[in-house]
Structure 1
Amino acid sequence: MSKSLLSFKYLTFDVVGTLIDFEGGITGCLAGIAAETGTTVDGETALALYRKARYDTDAGLFPDDLVRVYGVIAPGLGLPADRRYGERLRDSAASWSGFPDSKAALARLAQRYRLIAMTNARRWAFEHFSRELGDPFHAAFTADDTGTEKPDPAFFQQVFAFVGREGHGKDDILHVAQSQYHDIGVSRSLGMTNCWIQRRHAVAGYGGTIEPAEFTVPDHHFTSLAGLADAVDAAAGQVVPA
């Protein structure tokens, strides 16, 4: 039986895909390039090509790697492979939006928990994401800080060490994420309690996120971050916002 939502002191968050709409950011930028060059792109096709290119063995850190990724996927989308468009895709990360519920839900959750960001993005991009989300985080770990990327357990171990220095342990953490591959599976293997935010619940497939080798049934499951915040309020006996 899953632990009560009220039993945790920390919520750790995947950021890109859970809080920030990276798929919308990528497809929106590609659509803009397409419009300028006299063509159109299908969003799901673009995400499928992105997913394959992003996980090449020579992939770099995100979102800097989007320059390389663009050059790989542009021919398949009928777009010019000019480097300047790849740089435009990379730089678009600075203006990607949070999901409509992210900022308000994080503010509600921050009243009860310490929020920790865990992102495979580089620090420069995370700073933009954090501002978009209202700077709600107690601490943040990026690929630059950890020297690795999820689902590497070493990323999580650095977070455990931080929480340990504050006098707590991994049993005090609820890990919240949308990616089965990067977060839900590995958090389960490390003995964490997890919460799957199924952002693509209304769309088939895994979009821009790599498909896991096997599906992990989460401890808690919501289709929005607002759903998690509502469940926490309900567990605490508070009135859920209309």
Structure 2
Amino acid sequence: MTKLDLAQFRYLTFDVVGTLIDFEGGIITSLGEIAAEASTAIDGEQALSLYRAARYAADADRFPDDLVRVYDIIAPPLGLPRQAALGERFRDSAARWKAFPDSAAAMARLARRYKLIAMTNARRWALDHFERELGSPFYATFTVDDTGAEKPDPAFFTQVFEFVERDGGSRSEILHVAQSQYHDIGISRQLGITNCWIERRHDKQGYGGTIEPASFTKPDFHFHSMAELADAVNHVPAT
């Protein structure tokens, strides 16, 4: 932990899928339901490993539309039926993915003090569902449909920076909050943005469904949950 002061920020920008929404749980649940109907079972960590390898292929589509293609690849090694309708079902399951148990309450607490901005590689239709699941806490939202780029592309971040500047803020007033070292923590450091790593997999091995970064970036702030971040903010005197 650095000696940075949480009171210095006006904006908290958030990765959504994986930080606030439990996409790994959603993937395992959806595949598990399909497996049960086929009278079989899946190993959750194996499914995430297969998902990760398939999801980050060169011909990947926008997320979560790409889950149709991903299912077609991962179904055979998981012993699941390879059917187009099941791939579509896997994609559509994103609309039912749950937030982590602490996400909505923590975001409500943080919204009392900061302007919260969503930054997601998901398409707008998916974010609409995620927002409702989270209690609609955001001051502004940016999806891959809005930016035309996916994190860790700096172009995604640049559009958010421009919005903050139009809103009367500056980069130094942004704290970027995310679980993905690859998509968020590393690039935010390169762009000179203070970051906060929410290590959702702190009690698990590996990177699960998220691509492994080329190198680990030590974050400015580090918590295991959104609740821990909200608790830390509660101990900071209001400005």
**Shorter-chain TM-score above 0.5:** yes
Q: Which residue of 2 aligns with 1:211?
A: 212
Worse-matched range after superposition: 1-10 or 32-41: 1-10
Distance 2:68 2:47 in 1: 15
Q: Which residue of 1 aligns with 2:54?
A: 53
How many residues align? The count is 237
- In structure 1, the gaps of 5 or more residues are 238-242
Shift of 1:169: 1.0
Shift of 1:3: 2.1
Give the 3-state SS of the residue equivalent to 2:26 in structure 1: helix
- TM-score (normalizing by structure 2): 0.98
Q: Which residue identity lines up with residue 193 of structure 1 in the other structure?
A: T
Do 1:97 and 1:132's aligned partners in 2 also have CA atoms closer than 8 Å?
A: yes
Shift of 1:236: 2.4
Matched ranges for 1:92-171 at <5 A:
92-171=93-172
Do 1:8 and 1:113's aligned partners in 2 also have CA atoms closer than 8 Å?
A: yes
Distance 1:23 1:66 in 2: 13
Matched ranges for 1:68-83 at <5 A:
68-83=69-84
Shift of 1:214: 0.1
Shift of 1:104: 0.2
Q: Which residue identity lines up with residue 42 of structure 1 in the other structure?
A: D
Deviation readout 1:11-45 (Å, 9 max, x if unpaired): 00000000000000000000000000011000000
Give the 3-state SS of the residue equivalent to 1:115 in structure 2: strand
Q: Which residue of 2 aligns with 1:84?
A: 85
Shift of 1:161: 0.2
Do 1:2 and 1:220's aligned partners in 2 also have CA atoms closer than 8 Å?
A: no
Deviation readout 1:104-133 (Å, 9 max, x if unpaired): 000000000000000000000000000000
Distance 1:155 1:26 in 2: 25
Deviation readout 1:179-198 (Å, 9 max, x if unpaired): 00000000000000000000
Q: Which residue of 2 aligns with 1:221?
A: 222
Give the 3-state SS of the residue equivalent to 2:235 in structure 1: helix
Q: Which residue identity lines up with residue 136 of structure 1 in the other structure?
A: P
Distance 1:172 1:222 in 2: 20
Q: Does 1:23 align with 2:20?
A: no
Q: Which residue identity lines up with residue 112 of structure 2 in the other structure?
A: Q
Percent of aligned pairs sharing the same letter: 69
Q: Which residue identity lines up with residue 169 of structure 1 in the other structure?
A: S
Distance 1:46 1:227 in 2: 29
Distance 1:85 1:234 in 2: 48
- TM-score (normalizing by structure 1): 0.97
Give the 3-state SS of the residue equivalent to 1:235 in structure 2: coil
Q: Which residue identity lines up with residue 121 of structure 1 in the other structure?
A: A
Do 1:14 and 1:119's aligned partners in 2 also have CA atoms closer than 8 Å?
A: yes
Q: Which residue of 2 aligns with 1:180?
A: 181
Return structure 1 stretches of 4+ with deviation > 2 angstroms.
none
Give the 3-state SS of the residue equivalent to 2:7 in structure 1: helix
Distance 1:56 1:50 in 2: 10
